[in-house]
Amino acid sequence: MINIVIQKFGGTSVSSVESRNKIVEKVKNKKNEGKNPVVVVSAMGRKGQPYATDTLIDLIKDCKHTSSRDLDLLMSCGEIISSVVLATQLKDQGLDAIPLTGGQAGIITDNYFGSATILKVDTHVLENLIKEGKIPVVAGFQGRNEKGDITTLGRGGSDVTASILGEALQADSVEIYTDVDGIMTADPRLVPNAKVLSSIEYNEVFQLAEYGAKVIHPRAVEISMRANIPIYIKNTYNDSPGTLITNYNKLSVKKSIKNSIITGIAHILNVAQVTVQIKNNKTHFDPLFFTEIANKNISIDLINLFPNEKVFIIQHENIAILEDLLKQKNYDYKIIDHCAKVTIIGNRMRGIPGIMARIVSALSREGIEILQTADSHTTISCLIREEDVEIAVRVLHEEFHLG
């Protein structure tokens, strides 16, 4: 198959007749360019709107006997409704579209309801439809197991659907349409002069997503990176070029972009710093302590281990569970709640001296206390108090000339 383009449209894009008309234009344009579009859709709108996933879940929130299988069947309905409605609207505009569930499109998963792993994609149905000149409109976020039960892929699963279909069909590109012009250097709600990146490397956007930027599901990036398929983040409502996600060695990019040391800044709120104190080596530290934390389904981050103390961060909602465990161990501990992790990301900071010095200096000028740091070759994270996030992100954005 040739000239296949995956076009994925999010919940806001499919939520009204007017926005779906914009989708029709995007799909029709691809057809006119000689491309074979395969469309992937999310459920309509957000919580509170009739067919949004969270709204569907609320229908049975007070029921005591809902199985994970039944919940997946219910949650899949939002995307199925979107696929039928959009396919009908495409047909009304003269485009031969056909709606499909994820399972009908050939997405086969394991039996882990709620967060299923895709095992394979049988492309037979999609390839035949494309050969017939039809436009498949696939319900995102879902597949089916070997028994035929509908399974869902977890939050952000429609992005994953788009990338896995792109890989399976050897598509030319994957286009993710949303209500913003592309990936930005920082959250525009905090930094008014944040700019849209014309291009970014797979690893950088994966890091942005991992460290809090709501741009694209990290798993979707992994799949497209594995298949070396470029991803475009675009706006449904205009014709802006968006952001291209690819490898720089396969792309001619603007010199100013390529030479920029820092690509963007991401942040995560609602975290707490935990310090477990081992005084004068008199307190026995259980080496299985972190295993017990994991068994409580608590994820930890920014881990620093010293002879006399162990420091890490957790999500705010896990504080009570962790405190119970700390008290059982009779540990001395300190918790600083209402923290945030701010991370600068850039593949080209590798081997460049002075980056941390600039971060510390910039934050110090604003009187912002750094509680903890962690770094890799391509990221530097600082833990600060949540009340300082807006100033910190703006200052670092200015320090590295991202605006």
- Residues contributing to the annotated binding site: 8-11, 53, 79, 178-179, 189, 214-215
* Token representation of residue 88: 């009908």
Enumerate the known binding-site residues for ATP. 8-11, 178-179, 189, 214-215
- Beta-bridge partners for 375: 380
Sign, CA torsion 156/158/161/163: negative
C-alpha span between 214 and 203 (Å, rounded): 15
Parallel/antiparallel/unpaired status of strands 332-345 and 107-109: unpaired
Each residue of 234-252: b (16+ CB within 10 Å) or e?
Answer: bbbbeeeebbbbbebeeee
Q: Does residue 78 contact residue 52 with C-beta atoms inside 8 Å?
A: yes
Give the full edge-to-edge strand order of the sheet including 243-246. 97-100, 135-139, 36-41, 4-9, 173-178, 231-235, 243-246, 199-201
* CB-based contacts of 1, cutoff 8 Å, min separation 6: 36, 127, 130, 131, 169, 170
C-alpha span between 330 and 161 (Å, rounded): 47
Measured CA to CA in angstroms, residue 271 lies from 81, 142, 312 at distances of 37, 31, 10
Q: Does residue 20 contact residue 27 with C-beta atoms inside 8 Å?
A: no
* Token representation of residue 345: 């990301």
C-alpha span between 60 and 68 (Å, rounded): 12
* CB-based contacts of 64, cutoff 8 Å, min separation 6: none
| Count of C-beta atoms within a 10 Å radius of residue 165 | 27
Enumerate the known binding-site residues for substrate. 53, 79
